[in-house]
Homo-oligomer: A and B are copies of this chain.
Amino acid sequence: MVSDKKEAHAMKPLKLAILGAGGLGKGMVKRAQLSPDFKTVAIVDSEAYYFSLNGIHPSEVENLSSLGSLDHSVRTPQAIMDLLEAHGQDIDVIFMALPNIPVAFMPEITQKIALQGSFQGVIVDALKRTRAVEMMLELDSILKQAGLLYITGAGATPGFLSTLAAVAAQSFVEVKQVEIKFGVGIANWNQYKATVREDFLHLEGFDADRVAQMTDADIEAELEKRNGLIELVNMEHADDLILELAGICPRENVIVGGWVDTRHAKKPISTTVLITGITTQGETATHTITLDDASTMVDNVCGPALGFLRQGVRLQKTHHWSGILTSADIMPRGGVEARVTSPTEPLLV
């Protein structure tokens, strides 16, 4: 059902499976549809998977509350494992758009995928919490044995914004602070339940256990108290670990926070990254990165995730890389074909 691709892509598109069918998963179906070098062939929720080698069009899934209601979906409580068992060889890349409460959820799924061995491509996640990324890093040898390349922390924060910070930091002799401050506006919190629930972990008085026990009505009531607006401070986001691993600065120099408006699509504040460091002359200086308010969570999570997948595929296919990387280890790539031969093509043979 791929029909409105802008132009035929000379290379065969990468066949994409999206694990998770909430706001982020559906957003990725929409975003990937606009990049001709990708074709979404599978999407999964907790009750079913839907696989279509001809491509899944956003209109097929955007208004569904459950994939099980689709005619051609396969209903199963082990949707991820059953999808990969049946179609793993027909999938090139995976985007993990799963909710991550509890923190061990994604590492556990990843381990199962590696041990099952049906899928052998490249995986990216949009994990947020430092502890979750730490757990992913421990899977390196299992992933290597399975021949999988996994890029963790490849969404917006960490991912897009931490990579920008890692590059901008190069001016400085010493990086004193990286401050990531995001603004997110969503018209209706119901579209991004898992994301908003994860944000609640960072509010005063809340933790994973308490949030897990809250009903949607409880969340709604808490949002009502705040007029739909939540301010998140000192978030445990893996930007800190990822920037430390990339040699940029000690993790305690990294601060992540933001404002989420759960009732309006307009962002409550602009998303910014401030990188403060010491120059060669000993002065303190701050570089500023400001995202356009018109760019949404889908743009800033899903776009970069596709860019990291492109680079991951190159590294896996041509250099036989496997195991786990963080987003700051590699440069995301674009999907525009160069009119000259890439200088790196010979290197990649």
Q: Are A324 and B340 in contact (CB under 8 A)?
A: no
Whether A8 sits at the interface, judged by CB under 8 Å, is: no
Whether A112 sits at the interface, judged by CB under 8 Å, is: no
Interface size for A (C-beta < 8 A) is 84
Q: Taking the nearest CB of chain B, how far is it from the CB of A113, in angstroms?
A: 18
Whether A172 sits at the interface, judged by CB under 8 Å, is: yes
Whether A325 sits at the interface, judged by CB under 8 Å, is: yes
Q: Are A299 and B279 in contact (CB under 8 A)?
A: yes
Q: Are A171 and B244 in contact (CB under 8 A)?
A: no
A-B contact list, 7 entries, CB within 8 Å: A34-B173, A170-B304, A244-B336, A247-B337, A287-B292, A288-B292, A290-B290
Q: How many copies are assembled?
A: 2
Whether A330 sits at the interface, judged by CB under 8 Å, is: yes
Within 8 A of B (CB), among A117-169: 134, 136-137, 140-141, 144, 152, 160, 163-164, 166-169
Stretch at the interface among A43-51, A66-74, A202-210, A341-349: A341-349
Stretch at the interface among A83-91, A189-197, A315-323: A315-323
**Given A136-B343, A330-B331, 6 other A-B contacts at CB below 8 A?**
A140-B347, A160-B170, A247-B333, A287-B292, A323-B343, A324-B344
Q: Hey, which chain B residues are within 8 Å of A342, CB to CB?
A: 245
Whether A225 sits at the interface, judged by CB under 8 Å, is: no
